[in-house]
Structures are given as C-alpha cells and as structure tokens.
C-alpha cells in the first residue's frame, strides 16, 4: 500500500520554462510534506517542505503547493535550468509527527538546454 | 561537517554470502535510518533508531536482515545469507529530532550499491 504516489516516472522540459512535478497521498494524518532531489551516485538532498496547515511555500525558484482536499501536492520550478535535471522524490512524515519519512518512487526531470 | 558517511560505495557478492553495510551519521544527530532503493519499490524504509535504540523495524524484509547501532557514531546493516533480490542501493540517513518538517530534515549518505550474483 503506497501512501505517497508519484505517477509520472519522467518529465522533460525546456530550459527557462516551468517544471511541475506532482505527488498524491492517501493518509490525511501526514503533518509535513517534503521534496528531495537526487543526482546519480549521490544520496537524496532536501529541497523544500510544507506544513499541512499551509497551502504554499516558496524558496527562490522552487514553490510547493498543497491541496489537502485533493490530497495532492506539486513542486513548481521556475525558471527551469539544466542543473535541475535530477530525480525528485516527494515524501511525507509518518502520522502523529513521526520522524520517519515515507517516499514516493520519484520523477526523473530532464531540463533541455 | 563531512555528512553521513557510508561504506563501501559498491559491494558485489555471491548469493549466500554475508554482507555488512556501514554508516557513520552526522555528529549530534539522534535519529538514524536505513532505506533501500529499487526500481520497483522506490525508497523504502527498512529500520530506524533513536538514541541508538531500534524504534521501528517493520520494513526489514526478512530475518536475513539485521541492523545494529552500538554507539551514536556507527551503525551496520547486515544481510545473511544474501540473495540476488537483495540487489539495490542502500541509503543511511540521519536527523536531529524535531526537524523533520523544518529546515534540516533527513540527511542522506551517498549509498551503497549492492549487487548479489
């Protein structure tokens, strides 16, 4: 039973355009949602997070939107750069403020010059 | 800070052999996590520790898998005997309590790529 789902295995966009990565979840008790970025042969690195009591969080070119009624979140990257090419993982912490994170399977983003 | 350090980076072994993966968390972090990444299942949590004590091992696939944390600066994940389906990338991660939703959540090592032939 996958609680965090990323239904698009891959996404390709042109440099300078917007990248939108999507994530759905099933557990309404999640407190926080996070996005991690992973380059080949490296571990995932934290990108941005959002609390379940908010609907938007922005950090530079990265914005995460949360729609609790739809149990959906998205990561927007504007403008996209070739260096953003990586696998992006959506994650949520366990219910009740648990420290453990549940991850989606990831979306591979390719930004073409 | 050197970050989370995992060794070895690559491990190739034959079916039936014992495999030991090692992890040194970031100093001062009180949580340590072992994750496994495969194409089919993505990143799945195997086990995690708090203050060197195992809290949740429900993700450990079988009794062939075991993990220990003898002190705050070292953890091992052991597979005995190993099987080809154990082939995956194993990540260790650490965090400081209360930060999972803030600005300093899980910090991952670069992983160990395990191949069992």
pLDDT tens sequence for chain B (117 residues): 689 999 999 999 999 999 999 999 999 999 999 999 998 888 999 999 999 999 999 999 889 999 999 999 999 999 999 999 999 999 999 988 765 555 557 899 999 999 999
Given a contact cutoff of 8 angstroms between Cβ atoms, the answer to whether A24 and A7 are in contact is: yes
Instruction: Work out the angle at residue A91's Cα, subtended by the Cα atoms of residues A72 and B95, and round it to the nearest 5 degrees.
Output: 150
CB pairs under 8 A between A and B: 65
Please report residues of A whose CB lies closer than 8 A to that of B30: none
> What DSSP designation does A82 have?
G
Please report residues of A whose CB lies closer than 8 A to that of B104: 46
Question: Rounded distance, CA A108 to CA A38, Å?
Answer: 9
Given a contact cutoff of 8 angstroms between Cβ atoms, the answer to whether B117 and B14 are in contact is: yes
């Amino acid at each position: 039973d996958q609680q965090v789902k990323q239904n698009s295995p891959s996404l390709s966009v042109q440099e300078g355009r917007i990248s939108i990565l999507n994530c759905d979840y099933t557990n309404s008790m999640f407190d926080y949602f996070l996005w991690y970025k992973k380059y080949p042969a490296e571990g995932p690195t934290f990108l941005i997070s959002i609390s379940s009591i908010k609907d938007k969080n922005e950090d530079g070119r990265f914005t995460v939107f949360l729609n609790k009624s739809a149990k959906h979140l998205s990561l927007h990257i504007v403008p996209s750069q070739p260096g953003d090419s990586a696998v992006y993982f959506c994650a949520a912490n366990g219910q009740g403020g648990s420290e453990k994170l549940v991850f989606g399977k990831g979306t591979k983003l390719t930004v073409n010059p | 800070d050197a970050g989370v350090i995992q060794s070895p980076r690559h491990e190739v072994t034959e079916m039936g052999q014992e495999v030991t993966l090692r992890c040194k968390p970031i100093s001062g972090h009180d949580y340590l996590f072992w994750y496994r990444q495969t194409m089919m299942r993505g990143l799945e949590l195997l086990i995690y520790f708090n203050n060197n004590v195992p809290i949740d091992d429900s993700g450990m696939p079988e009794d062939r898998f075991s993990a220990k944390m003898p002190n705050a600066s070292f953890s091992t994940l052991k597979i005995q005997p190993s099987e080809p389906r154990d082939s995956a990338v194993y990540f260790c991660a650490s965090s400081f309590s209360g930060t999972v939703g803030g600005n300093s959540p899980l910090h991952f090592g670069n992983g160990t790529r395990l191949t069992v032939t």
